């Protein structure tokens, strides 16, 4: 029986640790976003029902209104945070692919793909920090408007 090499341990950690972690983080973020939307919709529906207790409620019109409000609610802050999300994801995946291509199984294609993903991730992170500073006043203005509505 041969001893397990460092590259073998790193490959096992990469396959069973990093990749599932990235997938789970994506799933958790998606579920949190969905839960937040459901909570907002239920809050709006309960407010509408309270305001019009004796009136007939058109649930189809209400659903259309909620879908319209979802598309309008994409704020500048959410758009800026998307850059952070994409940047972190691309950087992590690119780093792992690059390390795999350099140390575990020397493949030129893996090094190229990992380098490209890492570069794209860093570009997204730079976009996040630049746009966060550049759009700071707009983000604060939108947050004040949202606070006033509630």
Number of domains in the chain: 2
Task: Show contacts of 114-117: CB within 8 Å, 24+ apart.
Answer: 117/90, 117/91, 117/93
DSSP state of 111: H
- Which domain range does residue 8 map to? 1-73
Same domain, 66 and 85: no
| Structure confidence by residue, pLDDT tens digits, 64-115 | 666 665 555 667 788 888 888 888 888 888 888 888 888 877 777 888 888 8
Same domain, 79 and 149: yes
Whether residue 95 is found in the same domain as residue 26:
no
Q: Is the pTM of this model over 0.75?
A: no
Residue 17 pLDDT exceeds 80: no
CB 112 within 8 A of CB 87: no
pLDDT, tens digit (0-9, with 9 covering 90-100), for 42-60: 777 777 777 766 556 566 6
62 pLDDT higher than 70: no
**How far is 40 from 147, CA to CA, in rounded Å?**
15
Integer Cα distance of 18 and 115 in angstroms: 18
């Amino acid at each position: 029986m041969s001893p397990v090499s460092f590259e073998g341990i790193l490959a096992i950690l990469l396959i069973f640790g990093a990749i599932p972690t990235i997938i789970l983080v994506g799933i958790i973020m998606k579920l949190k976003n969905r839960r937040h939307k459901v909570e907002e919709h239920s809050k709006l529906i309960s407010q509408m029902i309270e305001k019009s207790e004796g009136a007939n409620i058109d649930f189809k019109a209400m659903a259309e209104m909620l879908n319209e409000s979802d598309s309008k609610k994409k704020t500048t802050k959410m758009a800026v945070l998307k850059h952070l999300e994409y940047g972190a994801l691309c950087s992590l995946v690119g780093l792992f692919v690059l390390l795999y291509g350099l140390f575990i199984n020397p493949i030129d294609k893996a090094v190229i793909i990992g380098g490209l993903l890492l570069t794209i991730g860093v570009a997204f992170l730079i976009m996040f920090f630049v746009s966060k500073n550049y759009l700071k006043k707009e983000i604060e203005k939108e947050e004040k408007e949202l606070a006033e509505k509630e």
